[in-house]
Chain A
Amino acid sequence: MPNQAQLLPGTLDLLILKSVSLGPLHGYGILLRIGQITDSALLVEQGALYPALFRLVRQGLLIASWGVSENNRRAKFYELTVAGRNRFREETEGWNRLANAMAAALAAQPEEL
Chain B
Amino acid sequence: MNLPLYFRSLAAKLFHGSMIAEDVEEELRSHIQHRADDLERSGFDRAEAERRARIEFGGYVRYKEESHEAMGGRFIETLIQDVRFGLRVLRKSPGFTIAAISTLALALGANAVVFGVLNGLILRPLSVPQAESLYGSEYGDGAGWQSYPNYLDLRDRNHSFEGLAAFNFVFAGFDTGKDPSVATGFATTGNYFDVLRIQPFLGRFFHASDERGPNSAPYIVLNYAYWHSRFQDDRGVVGRVVRLDKHPFTILGVTPPGFRGTVLFISPDFFMPIVNQPQVSPGFDLNDRANNGGIFEVFGHLRPGATPLQGVADMNMVGAYLAETYPKEFVHKASTLSRQGLTSFRGPAEAFVAGLMLLAGLILLAACANLGSLFTAHAADRSREVALRLALGSSRSRILRQLMTEAVLISLAGGAVGLLGSVFLLRRLSTWQPFAGAPVHLPVTPDGKVYLVALALALVSGFLFGIVPVRQVLRANPYEIVKAGMSGSPSGILSRKFGLRVTVRDVLLAIQISMCAVLVTASMVAVRGLVRSLHSNFGFETRDTMLVGANLAMAGYSVDKVPDMQRRMIDALLTIPGVEQAGLVNRYPPLIYASGRRENVFKNETTDLKQSNVADAPYRYDVSPGYFEAAGTSELAGRGLNWRDDKNAPYVAIVNREFAERMFGSVANAIGRYYKMQDGKHIQIVGVVENGKYLSVTEDQQTAMFLPSPQSPASGAYLVVKSHRDPQELAAAIRSKLRELDEGLPLDIQTWNSMLAVVMFPSRVATMALGALGMLGAMLSVTGIFGMAAYSVNRRLREFGIRVALGAQRKEVLQAALGRAVKLLAFGSAAGLLLGVLASRVLAFIVYQATPRDPLVLAGVVVAMSLVGLVATWIPAQRALAADPMMLLREE
Contacts and interface: CB of A to CB of B under 8 A. Distances in A.
Judge: A and B partners, yes or no: yes
A17 to B, nearest CB: 16
Interface in A15-31: 26-29, 31
Nearest to A72: B37
A95 B62 CA distance: 30
A49 B24 CA distance: 13
Contacts of A112: none
Contact of A75 (B34, B57, B60, B67): B34
Interface in B16-70: 24, 26-28, 30-31, 33-35, 37, 56-60, 62-63, 66-67, 69-70
Given A28-B35, A45-B58, A48-B58, A75 B63 contact: no
Given A46-B56, A51-B63, A74-B26, A58 B31 contact: no
Contact of B31 (A27, A51, A55): A27
Contact of A48 (B9, B30, B63, B72): B63
Contacts of A55: 70
B27 A71 contact: no
Contacts of B69: 51
B385 to A, nearest CB: 24
A52 to B, nearest CB: 7
B71 interface: yes
A13 B161 CA distance: 72
Contact of A54 (B58, B62, B70): B70
Contacts of B67: 50-51, 54
A85 interface: no
10 contacts: A29-B34, A46-B35, A47-B63, A50-B31, A50-B63, A51-B69, A51-B70, A52-B70, A58-B72, A71-B37
Interface residues of B, number: 24
A38 interface: no
A27 B57 contact: no
Q: How large is the interface on A (under 10, 10 to 19, 20 to 34, 35 or more residues)?
A: 20 to 34
Contacts of A87: none
Contacts of A51: 63, 66-67, 69-70
Interface of A: 26-29, 31, 45-55, 57-58, 69, 71, 73-76
Q: Which 4 A-B pairs have the closest CB atoms?
A: A47-B63, A28-B34, A47-B58, A54-B70
Contacts of A49: 31
Contacts, number: 69
B34 A46 contact: no
A29 B38 CA distance: 11
Contacts of B60: 47
A75 B24 CA distance: 11
Contacts of B72: 58
Interface of B: 9, 24, 26-28, 30-31, 33-35, 37, 56-60, 62-63, 66-67, 69-72
Residue from B26, B28, B30, B71 with most neighbouring chain A CB atoms (10 Å): B30
Contact of B33 (A31, A54, A73): A73
B71 A54 contact: yes
Given A46-B56, A50-B63, A73 B71 contact: no
Contacts of B26: 74
B30 A73 contact: yes
B30 A74 contact: yes
Contacts of A46: 31, 35, 56-58
A51 B816 CA distance: 54
Given A47-B59, A50-B63, A75 B30 contact: yes
A81 to B, nearest CB: 14
A28 B70 contact: no
Contacts of A45: 58
Given A46-B57, A54-B71, A58-B70, A76 B63 contact: no
B442 to A, nearest CB: 57
A31 B28 CA distance: 13
A71 B28 contact: no
A41 B63 CA distance: 23
Given A46-B58, A47-B59, A50-B63, 8 more contacts: A26-B30, A27-B27, A27-B30, A46-B35, A50-B27, A50-B67, A54-B24, A58-B9
Contacts of A26: 30-31, 34
A108 B94 CA distance: 71
A74 B31 CA distance: 10
Contacts of B31: 26-28, 31, 46, 49-50
B806 to A, nearest CB: 54
B532 to A, nearest CB: 73
Nearest to B61: A47
A46 B66 CA distance: 13
A90 B203 CA distance: 81
A29 B34 CA distance: 9
A67 to B, nearest CB: 11
Given A55-B70, A58-B70, A69 B58 contact: no
A31 B30 CA distance: 13
Nearest to A76: B27
A57 B68 CA distance: 12
A111 B236 CA distance: 114
A34 to B, nearest CB: 14
A47 B71 CA distance: 15
Nearest to B62: A47
A75 B27 CA distance: 7
A75 B56 CA distance: 19
Nearest to B41: A71
B195 to A, nearest CB: 64
Nearest to A74: B30
B64 to A, nearest CB: 8
